[in-house]
Amino acid sequence: MTTLYVAMQIGCLECGEPSKVLGVFTDKDVADKLVKDAWSWHDILDNWAGERHYYVNEVELDVTYPYEDEVETVIERDDC
């Protein structure tokens, strides 16, 4: 069994801000750090009127991911 940690940004239903996957990790500490950093990016947006939430979702897979050590992260920072 493989555990993956999905760092998420949950958008704002009121203003139409979409939700995004920030990254998928095999190391929970890395996912937690990304979420912590995302909150700091959020705090920089002083003109932001909507709501966003960031969290790490733990996903258990019943199959072994063949490239577990080679998982790469893509982070969209265009909205920061």
Task: Give per-residue pLDDT as tens, 14-52.
Answer: 777 788 899 999 999 999 999 988 877 766 665 555 577
pTM for the model stands at 0.66
Domain containing residue 33 = 2-70
Number of domains observed in the structure of the chain? 1
Does the residue 59 lie in any domain?
A: yes
Does the residue 35 lie in any domain?
A: yes
C-alpha 58/C-alpha 26 separation (Å) is 10
Does the residue 78 lie in any domain?
A: no
Does the residue 76 lie in any domain?
A: no
Residues 30/4, Cβ–Cβ less than 8 Å: no
Does the residue 77 lie in any domain?
A: no
Does the residue 79 lie in any domain?
A: no
Does the residue 53 lie in any domain?
A: yes
Q: What percent of the chain has pLDDT over 70?
A: 65
Question: Of 80, 71, 59, 73, which Cα lies nearest the Cα of 22?
Answer: 73
Question: Which has more pLDDT, 75 or 67?
Answer: 67
Q: Is residue 72 scored above 60 in pLDDT?
A: no
Tally: H helices and E strands in the chain? 1, 3
